[in-house]
Every structure is written in C-alpha cells, then in structure tokens.
Structure 1
Amino acid sequence: MLSASVRAEDLHPSLWRASQLAHGRTRVVDTGYPALSAELPGGGWPLGALIDLLVQQPGIGEMRLLQPALSALGERPVALLQPPQVPNGLGLGYIGLPLERLLHIKAPKTGDALWSAEQILRAGSCGALIFWASSAQSASLRRLHLAAQSAETLFVMVRPLTVTQEASPALLRMALRPSAHGLTVDIVKRRGPLRVEPLSISLQPTPVLLSRHARLSRRPFAETAARSLPTEVAA
C-alpha cells in the first residue's frame, strides 16, 4: 500500500489512486465548462490520446461541447473526418471556427477513414481531429490511440451510444444525451473513480452547424478525399 505522502503518479505517470483523479503528465486543454473540467483528470480534455464521445445520434451537440477547446487551440487546423452532414460554414463561423481553420475529409470506405485518421495523428499538423465513426474494431482503436500519442492533437471519436459496453483504449469516454438546455453527460471512463451522477451542461443555442442543406461561404472550404493526405443536425 502506498503511503499517504507518496503520490502514485510520482512512481509512474500511468498510475493513480482509485479514489482520486489522475494527475499525470498528460497535457490537457480546458473544456470551457468548469463543472466538466473539475471532473476530468488534469482539468480538461487530454491531448495526444483517444477520447470517446458516445451519442444517441450524431449532431446532438458534440461540436458545441468541443467549441471552447477548439478555440483555445489557436490557429491550428481542425480536421473533420466523416461528419454526418455537410459542415455549415456560416454556423461554424458563428461559434468562432472560421472556414480557413477547417479541413473536411471524406472517405468512401471505413478503411480509408481509419487510414486518414492515423496519418493526421502521426503528422501532428492539426490541432484537433474529430472523427465520426459508426463502427471501428478494437485493433483499429488501439492503433489510433497509439498514433495519437505521437503528437499533442485533441483527438475525439464520435461513436454510437450502443458501443458503451465495448472495451476501448480511450483515456476518456463520455455518453452524451440531449437535454432541454444542452447535454446530459455521463462519464463512462476516466482515470479516477466512477462518477454515478450525470452532469448537466448548458450549451449556447447556435445556427445549424452540420446540415444536408448547409450553405458555405464563397471562400472555398478546405476539403479533401481520403488517401490524398501526406437529417439536419445542430452539432
């Protein structure tokens, strides 16, 4: 048993006491929501690691939830891989994500999307990668988590709520459900004790961010197809 004066993370950064949130050397970016940040190891979204956001359906508010962190990353590009609908340039600009920062990546096959995600993570050229994935094998998740560790990219996979019980190498897993004023957030996995009670996160109302009828500004949106790299929803 560790003495009270010895911190588990001092012995190894991957160790922590089960009764406490981990305080290792992983860099984080503030979530922008004090109640949520207080529940996360290090006080924010971990960088250089896989984060799982599990949703009832894409577009329930994941982009608005991530917006403060994306803004905090400065001018570094944000890659949107396989978003459920076309990114709406006007809506994204409204929340402070101008088109010149965004890279929209289309992938005709799951394998192409996974390959694209790995290349982006290993290159480390993007401040964030948000990857909407309907399915992914455990081996693929482990490979992406390992690739994420090669840089300090904010790497978020948005996946179906139905995979909650499946194993994942993600350092952080959260289940998101829509509520009257934003989202109800259940922390499924974190480096620390379980949290039984869900969090209520208020989100600022915005124009539609992802839509099959999205209107882009006349400035060309940065869009690329996979393998070329070195329902209306309000996300």
Structure 2
Amino acid sequence: MSMLASASLSHSAAVQSVVSALPHALWRADQMGSYQGAVCASGHAALDRELPNGGWPHSALIELLLQHPGYGEIRLLQPALVQIARQRRIVLLQPPHLPQIAAWSAAGLDTEQLLWIKAGRSVDALWSAEQVLRNGSCGALLLWQSHIRGDALRRLHLAAQASDTVLWMIRPLAAAHESSPAPLRLSLRPAPNGIDIQLIKRKGPQHEQPLYLQLTAPMAAAEMPNAVPTPSSSTLFSLLDHATVDRHTPAVAGVGNIAPTLV
C-alpha cells in the first residue's frame, strides 16, 4: 500500500472517530440532525417524528410564524407547557392579549407557575427575554414580537444556547422570508379542527408538504368559571385560543420590576 493511500485511510479513520465521539459535530442535509441539549416532547407523535431528537429543543431559538395570534399555537404547545410547569416556571412575554387564567387551570397548568411580563417597548421586551434566559430559573419562555432586527435575533439565540430554557418566539408569517439564526422555524396555518404546520427550517431533509395536526377542541365559554364576555373575546389571548378573558388575571411584572428570582 502506498504512503498516500495509507495516509488517506488514516485520515478517514480519524474523521470517523471524531464523528462517533461528537455526533453533533457533523450533520448531513439529507439526514435528520440532532441537538446537543435536551428536548421536550411536543405531545404530538406526528410532529415529534419530524423534529430532531423527537421534541422541542432546549437551549435553542424556536420560531413559530403565523398570520394572526390565536390560530392554535397555544393549544399546539399545551402538552409541552404542562410538562414544564410541573417543575419550573413559564414566562409569557408581550402576549397580544390578557392571559385567560380559567383556561390555563382547565388545561392542568398550575397558574402559580406562570409569569406575565409586559414591556412598554420592544427593546425592553428583548432585554427582559435575555434576563429570563440568563437567570435560568424558568423552564419555558414564550415571546411575541412583531418586528425584530437580525442582531437582536442573534443575541437571543446565543442567550438561549447558554441556558436550558425552551424559547418559543412567535412572529408574523411574513418573517418566513427573512434570514434567522433559529435552527427550528415552523409556520402555522388554521385547518379544520387543527392546524397545518410547514417545517420551514430544521436540521433535517426538507419537508415539502404541510403536516396536519388535529388539536383538542376548546372549552365552551359556559364551562369556564368566572369568565366575562368582552366585545373582542374572539381574539383575546388564552390557552385555548379565541376564548373569553377571565375576571382574575395574573399580576403583571413590568420592566424594572421583575420578580427577584429573575434578576
């Protein structure tokens, strides 16, 4: 065997050794990738099969892109949120409407585990998100943003990588054409009794056809104790999407007045 062939074989063996020892160091575009950190099962078997490592990744920026809030995104996340809330707090940062406490309770979520943060400006919301991620006391962060600069996205992604928090950023569908450092991007569209999910970006082969998920039907307003109908109840934020607003809402943590456990 020539010296050149021997060197080539040695190099190939060395590469295979590194790949075996560090499976996250190499990803082939035609294969499903993997995350270095932990994942949280989505609670939807069909979706888990399409996600690297079979769930929502911790320590990563996840983008959910939709035309309007209330298309079923919270019901999509409900199983994962229930898991996380059993041990750690969930932060709602800049939700488009007031949280519906009766709906959260009906879904089996401990409302004592919820923290709602309202910021006056987008820059304050992004600052709050970074503090939540750096603090590490929360298991999940849901952040709603209409407009965000590329450098701010990169900062959030880096902050998420340094934490073990599940970070979902909910953005307009128009942002699907913008570049993003997020390793996982999904667009959501309403469908009969559920939603259609388009996997825009993931560590894996392209998924051309939308993935249909049937979601649990929302409770009727009459089943929700202390619910108060409002003129805009069809669009008010709640766990069950398009429900009425509860009379009792969680305390708001304003910027500069965040709970001590978060700073």
* Paired residues, number: 228
AA aligned opposite 1:131: L
Give yes or no for contact 1:145–1:170 (8 Å, CA) kept in 2. yes
Change (3 A) 1:24 1:159: closer
Q: Is the 8 A contact 1:55 1:177 kept in 2?
A: yes
TM-score w.r.t. the length of structure 1 is 0.90
The answer to whether the Cα contact below 8 Å between 2:70 and 2:242 also exists between their aligned partners in 1 is no
Q: Which residue of 2 aligns with 1:214?
A: 245
Q: How does 1:74-223 map to 2 (within 5 A)?
A: 74-207=86-219, 208-209=238-239, 214-217=245-248, 221-223=250-252
Gaps of 5+ in 2: 1-11, 220-237
Code of the aligned partner of 1:214:
V
Aligned partners of 1:115 and 1:227 also within 8 Å: no
Q: Percent identity?
A: 44
Q: Is the 8 A contact 2:118 2:254 kept in 1?
A: yes
1:8 deviates by: 4.8
Q: In structure 2, what is the Cα distance between the partners aligned to 1:37 and 1:179? A: 19
User: RMSD in angstroms over aligned alpha carbons?
Assistant: 2.3
Please tell me whether Structure 1 or Structure 2 has the larger radius of gyration of its CA atoms.
2
Residue 111 (structure 1) shift:
0.5
Q: CA shift at 1:70, angstroms?
A: 1.0
Q: TM-score of the superposition, structure 2-length normalised?
A: 0.80
Task: Name which of structure 1's ranges 56-65 and 135-144 shifts more when overlaid on structure 2.
Answer: 56-65
**CA distance change for structure 1 residues 216 and 14 in 2, over 3 Å: closer, same or farther?**
farther
Cα distance change, pair 155–14 in 1 and its aligned pair in 2 (3 A): farther
Contact 1:8 1:17 in 2 (8 A): no
Deviation at 1:227, TM superposition (A): 2.7
Q: Which structure 1 residue ranges, 4+ long, deviate > 2 Å from structure 2?
A: 5-12, 23-26, 207-213
| Aligned equivalents of 1:227, 1:9: Cα separation in 2 | 47
- Quick one: distance in 1 between partners of 2:209 and 2:17? 30
1:18 aligns with 2:29: yes
The one of 184, 209, 225 equivalent to 2:254 is: 225
**Preserved contact between residue 132 and residue 157 of structure 1 (Cα < 8 Å):** yes
* Equivalence for 2:57: 46
